[in-house]
Amino acid sequence: MNPRALTLICLLTPAIAAALPGLESEDTETTAASDAGETPTVPASNFADDRFYLAPFGTFIQPGGARNANAGWGGGLGFGKILNQFFNVEVRGFWQGFDSRGYPHYSQAFKGLSAAEGGYNLAGGAIDFQYYFSRDAFTPYTVFSLGAMNTQYPGELNAQPFAGDAGRSTVSFIFEAGAGLSWELADNLLFRGDVRYRGDTAPGQVKHSEVALANDLLVNMGFVVPLGDKPEAAAAPLASDDCAARDTDADGVNDCDDKCPGTAGSAKVDSQGCPTLLELRGVGFQYDSSRLTDRARATLDGVAEQLVAFPAGKEIEVAGYASDEGKRGRESHNLALSQHRSETVAQYLRDKGVSNPLFAKGYGTEYPVADNGTEAGRQQNRRVELRWQQD
């Protein structure tokens, strides 16, 4: 390989490698780019750009040692297509020219040659296969190319002592391999440059009846002009919403069938997820009074927030209950006390913004839920419940 080609490709490799860490995880890259305010890499499944494009370019060519020639210039035009997130295919035509340095040891044989007879002319075409590491605005790519080329040799190679006429030409197969960078300036304009090594099956020169094959270094710079409007990236498919497998408010009714989302987890609900009964645990009163304790207010604040956020729209009975101490003559007192306590709770909820119609009813010692013969049981029987009235 041409030593200069090897050197430039090696210098370009670290720059390309520096761009590769972001390719380790597509999801990680997208998240990081979003956090930084940059445009994230488009996932391959959502990439929609498949336009044709034109690609004019200029070329600097450094001939290999076999040609014994000076550097030169050239240009060409490519016509390509974006295949998918990673690949382009492109047909390119080109022309390049450079001057021979001549052969001093055959100087007597070359006398009388014109300047035109001392130059190489290369013309041909090739198919590029380009691989892009991403489709960001600035991205590296690699390229491999196959094609054919006509080489018109300097007249000196055809002069005596070699047989042939001045301007002899040869058609040969070529291959190119290299790496480059692409920079998107606008939706319909990209700047592109690459460095390539070219191998040529045609001889570069003839020395003492030995054939030395040509190899050249190419530096291409140019533009890519996509044809047509840039399509929008396809929207990511929405994940299927399997509401039947979810129960967001944990009331035992799946989200598809739940007509009253957001009910308290401790509430009893009907088949449609709407509340029917909620025992206000932790709602206590001062001894033999309807005055709420601090703990009771904190509990009612949480209940009020849920009722305001998810009002069921139905009338709610605030039912108060008392425990049976086993003392005669206390029934009427307990009934009145439970009524006052239920009224206190109803008014507190109204003051907190609950819009449901609330009515208080005291039941005294009726409907116990535990044994009044123990203090633990009596504490359970001293309770307040919310009962949603059914249609």
Task: Please report the pLDDT score of residue 235 as a whole number.
Answer: 65
Q: Is the pLDDT of residue 227 over 90?
A: yes
Average pLDDT over residues 360-369: 88
pLDDT: which is higher, 192 or 333: 192
Whose structure tokens read 């109204």? 350
> Which residue type is seen at 241?
D
Residue 228, Ramachandran bin (φ over 0: left; ψ between -120 and 50: alpha; else beta):
left
Contacts of residue 32, Cβ cutoff 8 Å, sequence gap at least 6: 22
DSSP string, 220-252: EEEEEEE-SPPPPPPPPPPPP--GGG--TT-SS
Kindly tell me if the per-residue pLDDT of 371 is higher than 70: yes
pLDDT at 38: 47
Residue 34 parent element (H or E): helix 26-35
Report residue 6's pLDDT band, with 50, 70 and 90 as the boundaries: very low
- Beta-sheet pairing, 189-207 with 210-226: antiparallel
Cβ contact 216:198 at 8 Å: yes
Strand 358-362 and strand 384-388: the pairing is unpaired
- Check whether 360 has a pLDDT greater than 60: yes
Provide the pLDDT for residue 140: 96
Q: Which tokens belong to 257?
A: 């069938």
Res 184: pLDDT: 94
**Can you give the pLDDT at residue 203?**
66
List, in order of start, the domains of the chain with CATH numbers.
3-226 (2.40.160.20), 243-388 (3.30.1330.60)
Q: Whose structure tokens read 């940059």?
A: 38
Give pLDDT, residue 167: 52
Predicted confidence (pLDDT) at residue 346 exceeds the cutoff of 80: yes
pLDDT reported for residue 226: 96
Closest CA to 15 of 159, 142, 152: 142
Q: What is the pLDDT of residue 152?
A: 83
Judged by average pLDDT, the poorest of 200-214, 235-249, 284-298 is: 200-214
- Name residue 268's beta-bridge partners: 277
CB-CB contact of 205 with 67 (8 Å) = yes
Q: How many CB atoms lie within 10 A of CB 17?
A: 10
pLDDT of residue 205: 53
Least confident of 119-128, 159-168, 209-218, 223-232: 159-168
Most confident listed range (47-51, 127-131, 342-346): 127-131
Select the highest-mean-pLDDT range: 25-29, 263-267, 335-339: 335-339
pLDDT averaged over every residue in the chain:
78
Residue type for position 338: S
Please, are residues 334 and 322 in contact by the beta-carbon 8 Å criterion? yes
For the chain, the straight-line distance linking the first and the last C-alpha, in angstroms and rounded, comes to 90
Q: Which residue from 62, 53, 124, 59 is spatially nearest to 92, judged by alpha carbons? A: 124
Main-chain dihedrals φ then ψ at residue 322, nearest 5 degrees: -125, 165
Q: How confident is the model at residue 88 (pLDDT cuts 50, 70, 90)?
A: very high
Per-residue model confidence (pLDDT) at position 295: 86
Does residue 258 have a pLDDT over 90?
no
User: 164: pLDDT confidence band, cut at 50, 70 and 90?
Assistant: very low
Could you give the count of Cα atoms lying within 13 Å of 16 in the half-sphere of its Cβ?
A: 21
132 versus 20: which is more confidently predicted?
132
Q: Which residues of 218-253 are buried (b: 16+ CB within 10 A; e: fewer)?
A: bbbebebebeeeeeeeeeeeeeeeeeeeebebebeb
Integer CA distances (angstroms), 223 to 53, 127, 179, 356, in order: 10, 17, 16, 69
Looking only at the bridges linking them, the beta strands covering 358-362 and 316-320 are parallel
Distance CA 76, CA 149 (A): 13
Rounded CA-CA distance 224/263 in Å is 60
State the burial class of residue 45 (Cβ atoms within 10 Å of its Cβ: 0-12, 13-18, 19+).
Answer: exposed
pLDDT confidence of residue 333: 87
- 311 or 363, higher pLDDT: 363
* Segment 107-118, tens digit of pLDDT: 444 444 443 456
Interval 59-73: pLDDT, tens: 999 988 777 788 999
Confidence (pLDDT) at 177: 96
Which are the contacts of 130, defined by CB distance < 8 A and separation ≥ 6? 80, 87, 88, 89, 90, 141, 142, 143
**What was the pLDDT predicted at 326?**
67
| Percent of the chain residues past pLDDT 90, beyond the cut | 28
pLDDT score for 32 = 40
**pLDDT number for residue 185:** 94
Residue-level pLDDT at 212: 58
> Is pLDDT of 133 > 90?
yes
What pLDDT was estimated at residue 370?
87
pLDDT at 35 over 60: no
